[in-house]
Amino acid sequence: MDLISRVALEPEHPQRLVLLLHGRGADEEDLLPLASLFAPDSMVLAVRAPYPFGPGYAWYRLTPDGTAHLEDLSESVHALNDLIDARAGNRWPTVLLGFSQGGLVSALTASAREARGIQGIVSLSAPPLPQVPDHPTLAGLPVFVGHGTEDPVVPFQRGELTRDLLIRLGARVSFHRYPMGHMISEAELGDVRRWLSRL
């Protein structure tokens, strides 16, 4: 499966790869403004999820009982790993920034690689992982987790579960809560920018 992506920032001599991974029902245009969070030495790609959903796309479909379709997740993770290998390889580290479903698939992709080549994850308003490996796979990996306390789509308690599962995987999690719904606020973006500056 080849993923469609749009180049948001392409420096002459990139030092890292950044993948922007949108949420369900959006497309690769949705997170393009977030490219400005990254230094001009980052190659930033906004990636389109593979499965059509509503006006946009999704990283995985839902089963009749409302859980993630695991085969879809596996396909998405495999395709993202192929993209990372093709674009960054062993040349540069990769940062994954995902909103909602994009945050979940960011964590799964890094876990599948056992954090190999991953510099950090920004997970915004993401649901918890449907499956957690028996052993830590994100040992020491910096992860920013942000979630709205008024989120009606992925309730805040599920955001806390996302945090806890990432900690179980060995990630070094920085957890932030905001008085907002299923969205990205300016306060959150400010915290992400400061966090990124320390990577």
The question of whether 135 is a catalytic residue gets the answer: no
Q: How far apart are CA 175 and CA 156, in angstroms?
A: 12
Active-site entry in 5, 182, 185, 191: 182
Dihedral (CA of 180, 186, 189, 193) sign: negative
Active-site entry in 42, 76, 100, 123: 100
Task: Give the SS3 label for residue 35.
Answer: helix
Assess contact for 112 and 136: CB atoms under 8 A.
no
Active-site entry in 72, 125, 151, 174: 151
Closest CA to 47 of 88, 94, 98: 98
Place of tokens 């990432």: 166
Assess contact for 95 and 87: CB atoms under 8 A.
no
The question of whether 111 is a catalytic residue gets the answer: no
Q: How far apart are CA 41 and CA 52, in angstroms?
A: 32
The question of whether 2 is a catalytic residue gets the answer: no
Which positions are annotated as active-site residues?
100, 151, 182
